[in-house]
């Protein structure tokens, strides 16, 4: 196996829509914070996006967009490997091997499968949607990742990854590192602005549901000023579902400013919901403006991004292929030999 000095991290985002402030707070912001603490691998999980129908041209464009957003958010390609999942074929090969070890019952239990399948007609739900967690397990286990920085919604998928690693290790000998989920203290589950009882999601169609990372300031302002609140007046963190809208705005504010709950509640004491919304607009715009400037520069340069992705895939392949070779050997797959006639 490839020599490993620092512990590894692996995480990714699907290029299945416009990245939201939820993706930023649950994933990207943490990735940036961890890139010096771990040997990091961040991929654009394009194969995961195929679990629901995608337009080919849009998928290609979104894959580059998401990669550029990683860099614009502060991922430094000299410190972390940034790549596209489908550029490293080991992901699909390990996914198949793990699929053969996965009881169907584990997959039917996944809440994300149940939620996404419920939105489609039963007969058209793709098998990929069901086996998605196995591909995610392969993504993580190939890199022997010790930690996986994700939002709260991915907790269950991390558990199945650990279960699969344990099952493999038990059957074939110690092979995989058991990964831990790294869930941020604040911002692990940002809720929809138009409906604070559902998770903010990039594939939700409604216009006022999410702030996208590439939204211009006037759009950000409009979306936040229209965010659903309640008829109360108190600006306090709360677990009461009736107050979920205000709690969500406070959570966004806290995750972006890093201020304590007490300091934030004191700051808004005696103020109205309009004041809170204005403050959230300001901090979101201040965070996203420099990110958007860096993004535009990266897209203008074009070739730079492609080079980073090529280098990232080469580094990722080295690590992933080493793990896969061990797996192939352990489960008894016959090694492929090069024909004598083609050796010169
Ligand atoms: N609302 C959220 N709050 C905090 N973290 C979130 N994440 C997603 N939504 C929130 C985190 O972002 C990372 C990438 O997510 P993904 O692309 O794998 O897709 P997802 O988890 O299914 O999130 P989306 O944005 O809702 O995607 P669609 O709509 O395409 O299904 C993960 O770390 C996730 O936890």
Sketch the domain layout of the chain as residue ranges: 8-183+302-331, 217-297
Please state, as a whole number, how many other Cβ atoms lie within 10 Å of the Cβ of residue 72.
23
- Rounded to the nearest whole angstrom, what is the distance from the C-alpha of residue 343 to the centroid of ligand 1? 48
Q: Is 119 a catalytic residue?
A: no
pLDDT at position 125: 87
The predicted-structure confidence for 278-311, as pLDDT tens digits, reads as follows 999 999 999 999 999 999 999 998 799 999 999 9
Is the pLDDT at 226 greater than 80? The verdict is: yes
Instruction: Identify the active-site residue in 7, 114, 202, 219.
Output: 202
| Ligand 1 proximity of 85 Cβ (cutoff 6 Å) | no
pLDDT at position 119: 84
| CATH class for the domain made up of 8-183+302-331 | alpha beta
- Rounded to the nearest whole angstrom, what is the distance from the C-alpha of residue 126 to the centroid of ligand 1? 20
The predicted-structure confidence for 83-120, as pLDDT tens digits, reads as follows 999 999 999 999 999 999 999 999 999 999 998 888 88
3-state secondary structure 282-310: HHHHHHHHHHHHHHHHHHHHCHHHHHHHH
Is the pLDDT at 217 greater than 70? The verdict is: yes
DSSP 86: G
- Rounded to the nearest whole angstrom, what is the distance from the C-alpha of residue 271 to the centroid of ligand 1? 32
pLDDT at position 151: 92
| Ligand 1 proximity of 35 Cβ (cutoff 6 Å) | no
Nearest CA to ligand 1 atom 2: 22
| Ligand 1 proximity of 179 Cβ (cutoff 6 Å) | no
- Angle, CA of 94, 134 and 180, to the nearest 5°: 100
- Rounded to the nearest whole angstrom, what is the distance from the C-alpha of residue 150 to the centroid of ligand 1? 8
pLDDT at position 203: 86
- Under the banding of pLDDT at 50, 70 and 90, the label for residue 344 is low
Q: Is 219 a catalytic residue?
A: no
Rounded to an integer, what distance in angstroms lies between the CA atom of residue 139 and that of residue 145?
9
Rounded to an integer, what distance in angstroms lies between the CA atom of residue 216 and that of residue 230?
27
List, as one string, the DSSP characters of 118-180: HTS-GGG--HHHHHHHHHHHHHHHHTTEEEEE--GGGHHHHHHHHHHHHHHHHHH-S--PPPE
Indicate whether this model's pTM tops 0.85: yes
- Rounded to the nearest whole angstrom, what is the distance from the C-alpha of residue 25 to the centroid of ligand 1? 10
- Under the banding of pLDDT at 50, 70 and 90, the label for residue 3 is low
The predicted-structure confidence for 158-171, as pLDDT tens digits, reads as follows 999 999 999 999 99
pLDDT at position 212: 98
Mean pLDDT for the stretch of residues 11-40: 96
Rounded to an integer, what distance in angstroms lies between the CA atom of residue 301 and that of residue 322?
33
Q: Which of 9, 11, 13, 137 to mutate to test the pocket of ligand 1 (most atoms within 8 A of CB)?
A: 13
Q: Which helix (H) or strand (E) holds 10?
A: strand 8-13
Q: Mean pLDDT for the chain?
A: 95
Q: How far is CA 229 from CA 192, 234, 260, 273, in A?
A: 11, 11, 22, 8
Rounded to an integer, what distance in angstroms lies between the CA atom of residue 81 and that of residue 271?
45
| Ligand 1 proximity of 154 Cβ (cutoff 6 Å) | yes
How far the first Cα of the chain sits from its last, in Å, is 28
Q: Checking DSSP bridges between strand 145-149 and strand 80-84, what pairing results, if any?
A: unpaired
Is the pLDDT at 123 greater than 80? The verdict is: no
Please state, as a whole number, how many other Cβ atoms lie within 10 Å of the Cβ of residue 208.
17
Is the pLDDT at 235 greater than 60? The verdict is: yes
Q: Checking DSSP bridges between strand 8-13 and strand 145-149, what pairing results, if any?
A: parallel
Rounded to an integer, what distance in angstroms lies between the CA atom of residue 305 and that of residue 136?
24
Is the pLDDT at 7 greater than 90? The verdict is: yes
- pLDDT > 90: what percent of the chain? 89
- pLDDT > 70: what percent of the chain? 98
Count helices and strands in the chain by DSSP H and E runs: 14, 5
pLDDT at position 107: 96
- What angle, 0 to 180 degrees and rounded to 10, lies between the N-to-C axes of helices 56-73 and 273-301? 110
| CATH dotted code for 217-297 | 1.10.240.10
Q: How far is CA 226 from CA 63, 76, 229, 291, in A?
A: 30, 35, 9, 24
- Under the banding of pLDDT at 50, 70 and 90, the label for residue 324 is very high
Mean pLDDT for the stretch of residues 223-235: 95
- What angle, 0 to 180 degrees and rounded to 10, lies between the N-to-C axes of helices 90-99 and 303-331? 40
Is the pLDDT at 56 greater than 90? The verdict is: yes
Is the pLDDT at 2 greater than 60? The verdict is: no
- Equal CATH topology for 8-183+302-331 and 217-297: no
| Ligand 1 proximity of 305 Cβ (cutoff 6 Å) | no
- Which of these, 182, 157, 175, 185, lies nearest to 260 by C-alpha position? 185
- Cβ(59)–Cβ(100) below 8 Å: no
pLDDT at position 121: 79
Q: Is 185 a catalytic residue?
A: no
Mean pLDDT for the stretch of residues 3-14: 89
pLDDT at position 155: 95
List, as one string, the DSSP characters of 214-236: T--HHHHHHHHHT----S-----
Atom of ligand 1 nearest to the CA of 203: 29
Helix (H, G, I), strand (E, B) or coil at 65: helix
């Amino acid at each position: 196996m490839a020599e490993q000095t620092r512990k590894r991290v692996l995480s990714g985002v699907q290029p299945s829509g416009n990245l939201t402030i939820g993706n930023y707070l649950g994933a990207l912001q943490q990735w940036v914070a961890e890139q010096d603490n771990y040997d990091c691998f961040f991929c654009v999980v394009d194969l995961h996006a195929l679990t629901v129908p995608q337009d080919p041209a849009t998928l290609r464009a979104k894959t580059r967009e998401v990669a550029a957003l990683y860099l614009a958010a502060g991922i430094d390609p000299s410190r972390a490997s940034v790549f596209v999942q489908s550029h490293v074929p080991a992901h699909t090969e390990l996914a198949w091997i793990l699929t053969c070890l996965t009881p169907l019952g584990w997959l039917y239990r996944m809440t994300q499968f149940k939620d996404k399948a419920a939105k489609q007609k039963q007969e058209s739900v793709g098998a990929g949607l069901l086996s998605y967690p196995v591909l995610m397990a392969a993504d993580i286990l190939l890199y022997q990742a010790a930690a996986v920085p994700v939002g709260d919604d991915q907790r269950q998928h991390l558990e199945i990854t650990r279960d699969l690693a344990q099952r493999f290790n038990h059957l074939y000998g110690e092979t995989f590192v058991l990964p831990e989920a790294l869930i941020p203290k604040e911002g692990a589950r940002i809720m929809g602005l138009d409906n604070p009882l559902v998770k903010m999601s990039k594939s939700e169609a409604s216009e006022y549901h999410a702030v996208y990372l590439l939204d211009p300031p006037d759009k950000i302002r409009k979306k936040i000023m229209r965010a659903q609140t309640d008829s109360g007046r108190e600006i306090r963190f709360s677990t009461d579902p009736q107050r979920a809208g205000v709690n969500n705005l406070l959570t966004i504010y806290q995750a972006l400013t890093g201020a304590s709950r007490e300091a934030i509640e004191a700051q808004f004491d005696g103020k109205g919901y309009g004041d809170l919304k204005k403050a959230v607009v300001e901090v979101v715009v201040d965070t996203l403006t420099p990110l958007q400037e860096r993004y535009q520069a990266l897209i203008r340069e074009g070739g730079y991004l492609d080079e980073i992705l090529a280098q990232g895939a080469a580094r990722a392949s080295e690590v992933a292929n080493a793990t896969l070779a061990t797996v192939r050997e352990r489960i008894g797959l016959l090694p492929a030999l090069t024909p004598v006639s083609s050796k010169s």
